[in-house]
Amino acid sequence: MRQRFEIPGKLPSLNDYVDACRRNPYVGNKAKQRTQDEVMLAIKAARLKPMRAPVSVSFEWVEPDMRRDKDNISSAKKYILDALVESGVISNDNWKWIAGNLPDSYKVNKQNPRVIVTLEGEPR
């Protein structure tokens, strides 16, 4: 089974998260939780069905420009995987549950930045 969902806009980069944590650890945690909640809204809107281990997850990062480094952008995988667990689509994001190497692709679209996440695996 293949499922996909889109998260509108840009997610915070690793630099954004580190800056928030430097200000105050509680600010960093709040920023992570706010982003994870945003991802969960996209998951709910897509009506994803629960999946069985292992699940292949791939990411398409559509940025408004090429200002941010790719490694900085893709650090947002943490928010996405944690939201998938919290929403019950997958039971865990450990090595047993996540197959492969989490491939990324990158594109630019100034009018429609977003993240497209594709999940492949067996339904639960």
CATH number for position 56: 3.30.1330
Counting the structural domains of the chain, the total is 1
Per-residue confidence (pLDDT) for residue 58, from 0 to 100:
98
Per-residue confidence (pLDDT) for residue 25, from 0 to 100:
81
Type of residue found at 54: P
Per-residue confidence (pLDDT) for residue 72, from 0 to 100:
95
Q: Which domain holds residue 108?
A: 2-123
Give the DSSP letter of residue 69: -
Helix (H, G, I), strand (E, B) or coil at 43: helix
Q: Output phi, psi for 101, to 5 deg.
A: -120, 20
Residue 108 Cα distances to 30, 59, 117, 118, angstroms: 29, 14, 16, 18
Per-residue confidence (pLDDT) for residue 9, from 0 to 100:
97
What is this structure's pTM? Answer: 0.94
**Measured distance CA(109)–CA(115) in Å, rounded:** 11
Q: At what angle do helices 77-86 and 25-46 cross, to 10 degrees?
A: 60
- Token pair for 18: 């580190």
Per-residue confidence (pLDDT) for residue 38, from 0 to 100:
98
The number of CA neighbours under 13 Å toward the Cβ of 89 is: 32
Residues of the chain with pLDDT under 50: none
Q: Which residue, 42, 71, 65, 64, is CA-closest to 113?
A: 64
